[in-house]
Amino acid sequence: MSLFNSGKAKYSTIKINYSGYRKREIPEGLWLKCRKCMRTLYKKVLEKNLNICPHCNYHSPLAAPERIALLTDAGSFREMDAQLESADPLQFTDSQKYTDRLNKNKAKTGMKEGIICGTATLDGREYALGVMDFRFLAASMGSAVGEKITRLFEKALERKTPVVLVTASGGARMQEGILSLMQMPKTCAVLERLKEAGLPYIVIMTNPTYGGVTASFAVLGDLILAEPGAMIGFAGPRVIQETTNATLPKGFQTAEFLLEKGLIDRVVDRKNLRNELSLCLDYLTK
């Protein structure tokens, strides 16, 4: 998984040192610290602000359920394949068993896999929506993730609707070896059918989108949007720097850098994302 070492939440809980003071109980995780500007933030304020730092506009990851609420009409989302999850075809064990790892991630996130897929409406327009969630094993692309995305495209073909995929990923799921890599051609093949049918496909890249996801369906959108500051690439900057021995340009692999280079079409603030997506769906389905 990963060429990108960013499994931690972007906001870390502050440890308050009370030595010398009377000990007080503070509910854990009430205060957070912005990873970019390092300011202290009240968790509830941050959540109300869609996980965007009010001081520096840093976009911290948004969990899939919150992202779905942001991009759909209330109550319209119908989840598909909720029970689909990774098996352990290779009986893989590294420092721990793959099945144990999966179980821990299920307990941590309440999800069965690294993506939630379904159908929904936005301002009354029907579309198919898939949202990857980095909290679940870095949203790496295992067989179940690939299968869910494939079925999402097939659903859109059946219902003749656009597809929107919100990406975040560390890349391939190494515990599934070649089966993970096979998800790249598999998702691209069904995507080709979507294009033949003339159905729009919109990608929203969030921080971070790396590896096999970037190398397949994430860069094949008719329209590719990205959140400010999102890191997007195949291999991470450190790997590239060490391999090429070259100094990387400023802002390398950020959404803004890639907008300038033409890989993505538009950088959209999370607060405007719902409106912009609604407009895009309107334009592309007329």
Residues that bind Zn ion (CB under 5 A): 34, 36-37, 53, 55-56, 58
Considering the complex, what minimum distance in angstroms separates the CB of residue 197 from Zn ion?
Answer: 43
Considering the complex, what minimum distance in angstroms separates the CB of residue 50 from Zn ion?
Answer: 14
Beta-sheet pairing, 223-226 with 201-209: parallel
User: Please, what is the end-to-end C-alpha distance for the chain in angstroms?
Assistant: 39
Considering the complex, what minimum distance in angstroms separates the CB of residue 127 from Zn ion?
Answer: 32
Residue 261 DSSP SS3? helix
The residue behind tokens 């079925």 is: 151
Do 26 and 228 form a contact (C-beta atoms < 8 A)? Answer: no
- Whichever of 39 and 159 has its CB closer to Zn ion, that residue is 39
Considering the complex, what minimum distance in angstroms separates the CB of residue 31 from Zn ion?
Answer: 14
Considering the complex, what minimum distance in angstroms separates the CB of residue 271 from Zn ion?
Answer: 15
Residue 172 DSSP SS3? strand
Radius of gyration of the chain measured on its C-alpha atoms: 19
- Whichever of 54 and 237 has its CB closer to Zn ion, that residue is 54
CA dist 142 and 178 (Å) reads 10
Considering the complex, what minimum distance in angstroms separates the CB of residue 38 from Zn ion?
Answer: 7
Cα angle for residues 83, 116, 178 (degrees, 5° grid) = 80
- Whichever of 49 and 99 has its CB closer to Zn ion, that residue is 49
CA dist 195 and 181 (Å) reads 22
- Whichever of 56 and 189 has its CB closer to Zn ion, that residue is 56
11-13: strand order across its sheet:
11-13, 31-34, 40-42
Considering the complex, what minimum distance in angstroms separates the CB of residue 41 from Zn ion?
Answer: 7
The first and second tokens of residue 10, run together, are 């972007």
CA distances from 281 to 103, 217, 233, 271 (A): 37, 19, 26, 17
The first and second tokens of residue 187, run together, are 């998702």
- Whichever of 30 and 37 has its CB closer to Zn ion, that residue is 37
- Whichever of 9 and 37 has its CB closer to Zn ion, that residue is 37
- Whichever of 56 and 90 has its CB closer to Zn ion, that residue is 56
